[in-house]
Amino acid sequence: MTDHRPLTLMAVHAHPDDEATGTGGVLARYAAEGIRTVLVTCTDGGCGDGPGGVKPGDPGHDPAAVALMRREELEASCGVLKISDLEMLDYADSGMMGWPSNDAPGSFWQTPVEEGAARLAELMRYYRPDVVVTYDENGFYGHPDHIQAHRITMAALEMTELTPKVYWTTMPHSAMRRFGEVMREFSEDMPEPDPAEAAAMAEIGLPDDEITTWVDTTGFSDQKFDALAAHASQGENIFFLKMGKERFGELMGMETFLRVQDPTGAPVPENDLFAGLR
């Protein structure tokens, strides 16, 4: 490379803890390989659980205090994953689809896409990522802040002259089926999902043969587990922590993506986000 810049991966996520769930393995793996890893977290996570598991909207839930606590957890997670640079856009967490917080002024969901994209484009021009990772247009599972992260990322890319490889996180249908089985195994009291819910779950992710990129991060699954565990305040919502490190590594050792922009011509399927770049 002529400009001596380090190869750079930028992951754009919605909330503190999202970095660990879908991309903890690649962030840890590429950091270990000497690649600069940049995490952009769009919201403050204020709609997460408060101390003692108090839920948003319940008495005693203080979004500002939750956001502060989650920032500290995010910084700890970044330390575990050896993330080079953390950038927080600090929009207010919009909560799940249909929550009143969706409509709150200043929430990420209410922010004009152009505004969020302009801020992200500035970061892209500064870091000049070779690879950008975010969610698909449905935010993987329909969360408003994930959808908005997708929108601002794709708009920001259009605002810059950069041509990185671009990926959306996804999950093979075969893995989604395995997750369902494991969740039932670890939650004996879990009710059978109603047919509509089961059908919606079956739509998440992609058929295995449509996934372009399969990155083996088995060697970093302990780091990924520890990064998730750093988000202790949300432990009740992080199902994966219940299964212990060994089982977690078996289930979460492969991270999968859909490649949607590629200036390199690298053939797919590929096993490296930086295929064609080194």
pLDDT band at 89 (very low <50, low <70, confident <90, very high): very high
Per-residue pLDDT for 1 more than 50?
no
Least confident of 53-57, 220-224, 257-261, 263-267: 53-57
218 vs 177, more confident? 218
Lowest mean pLDDT, pick from 64-68, 92-96, 234-238:
234-238
For the chain, what percentages of helix, strand and coil (3-state, to nearest 5) are there? 50, 15, 35
Q: What are phi and psi of 86, to 5 degrees?
A: -110, 125
Burial group, residue 208, by CB count within 10 angstroms (0-12, 13-18, 19+): middle
User: How high does pLDDT run on average in the chain?
Assistant: 91
DSSP string spanning 191-210?
Answer: PPPPHHHHHHHHHSSB-GGG
Residues 251-264 have a mean pLDDT of 95
CA-CA-CA-CA dihedral for 260, 102, 240, 129, to nearest 10: 30
pLDDT of 267 strictly over 50: yes
Tokens 């769009």 belong to 42
Whole-angstrom distance, CA of residue 149 vs CA of residue 152: 5
**What mean pLDDT do residues 167-171 have?**
96
Phi, psi (deg, nearest 5) at residue 230: -65, -25
- Examine the pLDDT at 169 and tell me if it is beyond 90: yes
Q: What is the mean pLDDT of residues 56-83?
A: 95
Query: Quick check: 2 pLDDT over 60?
Result: no
Q: How far apart are CA 6 and CA 174, in angstroms?
A: 35
Alpha-carbon distance of 48 to 57, in angstroms, equals 10
Res. 45: pLDDT tops 60: yes
Radius of gyration of the chain (CA): 18
**Token pair for 14:** 């919605």
Percent of the chain with pLDDT over 90: 72
DSSP string, 29-87: HHHHTT-EEEEEEEE--TTS--GGGPPTTSTT--HHHHHHHHHHHHHHHHHHHT-SEEE
Question: Which whole number is the average pLDDT over 7-25?
Answer: 96
Closest CA to 19 of 55, 73, 69, 96: 73
Mean pLDDT throughout 38-45?
97
Cα dihedral sign, 233-234-236-240: negative
pLDDT band at 181 (very low <50, low <70, confident <90, very high): confident
CB contact at 8 A, 38 and 9: yes
Question: What pLDDT does residue 213 have?
Answer: 98
Q: Give the Cα separation of 64 and 210 in Å (integer).
A: 41
Q: Alpha-carbon distance 240 to 183, whole Å?
A: 9
Residue 71 clears pLDDT 90, i.e. is over it: yes
On the question of pLDDT at 150 being above 70, the answer is yes
